[in-house]
Amino acid sequence: MRYERLVIEAGDNSFCLDLHERLTVIAGVGRLERDALVGELVGALSSRRSGVHLEAVEDAGRRLAVFRPTGAAARVVDVDRARDVTAEFRTAEGRVSLLDRAGLDDPTARRKLRFGAADLQAATHGAQLVSQLAQAEQSGLWSTAETVLNAESTLQAEAEAVGSAPEDAEAIEQIEEHHRRFEAAQSRHERLRKTTLAVGGLATIAAGAAIVAGIPAAAAGLLMLATLTMLFSVRTRTKAERARKAEADALAATGAQSYLGFHLQRVNGMLSSDQARKRLIAAAETHRRAHADWQAIAGEVPVEWAIDHYEEITAAARVRIDITAHASMAVAEHVVEDDNTTDLARVLIARLAELRGLGGGSESLPLILDDPFAELDRSAKPALLELLSHASGSPQLIYLTDDEDVASWARLEALTGALSIIEPDAESPEVDRARRRLTRSS
């Protein structure tokens, strides 16, 4: 299966992504934007949120359109036959999902369909990481992993309850923090403004009286005091204005960098509900603490990777318990890599092969690459990018990146038609079409 088009509506705003059948590079997107896009792309296959519409093509060639209109039931239509096939994709709970038939739930799909730098590192250093986690106290390790998963589930539920995605929580927290600072600065300015006006006024009057009385030194001191109080008032006002601008910039960044104000519209909608905002932020805080506890035990190893390798880790831990104090026979502590680039290529090929049959039977599912090469040496990237280009198509690849090396490569490759590149900051046809849609809907 591959995506053809993703359309997302939020209030009066909407944006559309037209995706290449083999490889689409979406360049110039930072971590927050990548998180949001990954959430939307994976969620489009099974999202409960209205306003998320998807056009997709099965490997057999059947074209499907998934509609999730606001205030109405979701539908799936066979486009070529103009036939409603919703019943094929309706789950036991009554929602529409293209994943359920493949035996995938939402958390598993998010783990399998997303591949980032941490996954690349984990996969290429698998033996090392298994040994590292096997050394941890196992009951604490897995109970913490369960806490992280429960926190993720709660965060997902709270986000869906307000028609959002978990990835929005961090953006909301940033906006909330900027707003708190602005309100504090504004309040401080208002309090001091009244005081400084009173002091400045009295000092000015007293200076006038001193001049009349022939005491120039006193008059000069009082005028200096009046000037200083005025400057102090201006300074507090400048701080308040700076805090207001920071809040505006945070809002603008959430919108403008996330495709034509779409995320701004969605975040603003959630901010209007105080109770929903507090629940979502509380869930995000709980998730952050759980993740910090996990990192204290497991370091940078992703929870999902540990769960996928549970049997290997627990088996290695049992070996450690059984061996003697001079356990030179313990699990190997490192993996010898003759050629790091070759090893990375092996990891990518293995993940691509997994996605070709992940959808059940012979049905493939798209792979979303979350800037996996960002931390690699520049010399290693060209060969790996060429590998992706040649291997793309089955499965379809969507590469999200903020790496100029990748963007430069994609711009050249796009000239051949082997892939397409979307750059939110550029005047690309995709952005121009989205702008026209936004203009019509405004």
Short-list 29, 9, 122, CA closest to 424: 29
Same domain for 254 and 345: no
For residue 6, list its beta bridge partners: 17, 54
**Is 193 or 62 the better-scoring residue by pLDDT?**
62
Q: 395: cis peptide before it, omega within 30°?
A: yes
For residue 406, give the H/E element and its range.
helix 404-414
Beta strands in 30-147 (DSSP E): 52-57, 63-67, 75-78, 83-84, 114-116
Range among 101-110, 206-215, 230-239 with highest mean pLDDT value: 101-110
- Residue 154 covered by a domain: no
Same domain for 206 and 103: no
Q: Which amino acid is at 185?
A: A
Same domain for 358 and 253: no
Q: What is the pLDDT of residue 281?
A: 78
Mean of pLDDT values over 303-318? 81
What whole-number percentage of the chain has pLDDT above 70?
69
Mean of pLDDT values over 218-241? 70
Number of domains comprising the chain: 2
- Residue 110 covered by a domain: yes
Same domain for 351 and 254: no
- Residue 434 covered by a domain: yes
Q: What is the pLDDT of residues 357-407, one digit of tens each?
A: 776 666 889 999 999 998 888 888 888 898 899 889 889 999 999 999 999
- Residue 328 covered by a domain: no
Same domain for 341 and 417: yes
Same domain for 120 and 172: no
- Residue 302 covered by a domain: no
Of the three residues 272, 296, 320, the one that is the final residue of a domain is 272
Same domain for 120 and 18: yes
Of the three residues 272, 290, 315, the one that is the final residue of a domain is 272
Same domain for 175 and 120: no
Short-list 306, 271, 268, CA closest to 123: 306
Q: What is the pLDDT of residues 19-59, one digit of tens each?
A: 999 999 999 888 888 888 888 888 888 877 788 899 999 98
Short-list 321, 279, 263, 193, CA closest to 32: 263
Of the three residues 217, 244, 272, the one that is the final residue of a domain is 272
Q: What is the pLDDT of residues 143-189, one digit of tens each?
A: 999 999 999 888 888 777 666 666 666 666 666 666 667 777 777 76
Same domain for 118 and 20: yes
Does 313 have pLDDT greater than 50? yes
101: phi then psi, degrees, rounded to nearest 5: -65, -25
Average confidence score pLDDT of the chain:
77
Range of the domain at 56: 2-125+335-441
Cα–Cα distance, 284 to 421 (Å, whole number): 32
- Residue 163 covered by a domain: no
For residue 204, give the H/E element and its range.
helix 168-212
Give CA separation, 93 vs 120, 150, 221, 254, in Å: 35, 20, 79, 33
Does 438 have pLDDT greater than 80? no
Residues 6+ apart with CB under 8 A from 82: none
Helix axis angle, 404-414 to 381-391, nearest 10°: 40
Short-list 26, 279, 258, 301, CA closest to 144: 301
Q: What is the pLDDT of residues 100-137, one digit of tens each?
A: 877 788 888 888 899 998 888 777 777 678 878 888 99
Q: What is the pLDDT of residue 54?
A: 94
Q: Which amino acid is at 148?
A: V
- Residue 134 covered by a domain: no
Q: What is the pLDDT of residue 429?
A: 47
Q: Which amino acid is at 15?
A: F
Q: What is the pLDDT of residue 370?
A: 94
- Residue 370 covered by a domain: yes
Supply 283's token pair.
Answer: 């869930």
Residue 32 belongs to a domain with what CATH number?
3.40.50
Q: What is the pLDDT of residue 122?
A: 76
Q: What is the pLDDT of residue 169?
A: 63
- Determine which of 68-72, 118-122, 205-209, 349-353 has the lowest per-residue pLDDT on average: 205-209
